[in-house]
Structure 1
């Protein structure tokens, strides 16, 4: 696929929170990562406001196991609450993502250089990402490495179809939709032999408006262009 990278992301714990469980202060992880969580991981590898990352598919490599822990959430107003968080344990996923130029940011059109973005992205992946990798939440540290999607043995390779019910697909932000509102997308994924193929955000039919929001403003004078980043790579500043 054009402008794509393939990587494996793994870690001892993950928490892809089901929002229905947050009402009482508890947190229960979905069984699999959401589109938005994987997009966030891809953006931690490499991201600029002139491009939009899309998640194509994810392959669940390890068996789905959960572990509950008693956690004391930070309460800035005082208190000593004990909450129960249920994490995924020993996770490993193969992911394929790709990028397109953000058509809703024509003000950043000068930064549309497909070749240079793709090459910096691949170099950033080899270096383990440009930012810290988190598996759903900050306390769940993750790690990324390049891989070939589909290689190796996965636990669910011959498992058939698993219907996962209604899940959050992701969040719509104004600078990605052209609408001045924050929205959440829902969908009903099916895992087939360990692989979930994601639909694109605009293909989600269940969209809920959360609030009004204006797109972020980026000062081009304060933003490093892809040409400058690419030159830094060639000079050995970032490999």
Structure 2
């Protein structure tokens, strides 16, 4: 299904680390072979975001071969404040085509006056052309990324003729308090399958495995006081 406020973007970078939470228990990190729904949501929010809406990624196309590179890292040991030694396994030379759209956050009725789809869509496309409103990171802070507009499906991909590849149980994303009525922060898991280099994401509410993390309360905003209105932001962006 094609949504009227859909954007397609090329995401690329030298390294990426979409860390598997299972490997982080011992202080080391190992990347999933493909980006998670939550990682792409974070990239889209770095391009342009307001609490009025929620970015929904529908598809991601893997352009380059999945290759990893391990590095010795010396993070801080929080028990004694000294440097520790860990091995981080990164994805190298990554490139993805992403198709996404935004939907109104129905759990934020206090921001209903900011729901102007055409202006938010115009600002999002303008920010994408500029490479994002904020810095782009591919999973972690040390993995700098770059975004630009693209046509989804255009150009060759490393897995275009590859049959179905099940990727097993994988983190889908996090559900925050302002996106649900439960008042609980949750983590979601699903079973992705890559077909001809493309992964079709299920919606957050369709994830088969959901686990509660902790209680959480949503932050409250006051339009034009603690949150800039859409009309003012539109004038600011397009007057530059």
TM-score range, shorter chain: over 0.9
Q: TM-score, normalised by structure 2?
A: 0.96
Instruction: Tell me which of 124, 130, 139 is aligned to 2:127.
Output: 124
Aligned length: 236
CA distance in 2: counterparts of 1:10 and 1:55, whole angstroms: 16
The runs of 4+ residues in structure 1 deviating greater than 3 Å are none
CA distance in 2: counterparts of 1:78 and 1:166, whole angstroms: 34
Q: Is 1:5 aligned to residue 16 of structure 2?
A: no
| 1:181-220 correspondence runs (5 A) | 181-220=184-223
Q: Which moved more, 1:112-121 or 1:224-233?
A: 224-233
In structure 1, stretches of 5+ residues that fail to align are: none
CA distance in 2: counterparts of 1:80 and 1:129, whole angstroms: 34
Instruction: Tell me which of 151, 156, 160 is aligned to 2:154.
Output: 151
What's the counterpart of residue 94 of structure 2?
91
CA distance in 2: counterparts of 1:117 and 1:178, whole angstroms: 25
Q: Is 1:63 aligned to residue 59 of structure 2?
A: no
What's the counterpart of residue 26 of structure 1?
28
CA contact (8 A) 2:13 2:95 kept: yes
CA distance in 2: counterparts of 1:224 and 1:26, whole angstroms: 40
For the residue of structure 2 that corresponds to 1:107, the secondary structure is helix
In structure 2, stretches of 5+ residues that fail to align are: none
Q: TM-score, normalised by structure 1?
A: 0.97
For the residue of structure 2 that corresponds to 1:154, the secondary structure is coil
CA shift, 1:222, in A, is: 2.2
What's the counterpart of residue 230 of structure 2?
226
What's the counterpart of residue 102 of structure 1?
105
For the residue of structure 2 that corresponds to 1:123, the secondary structure is helix
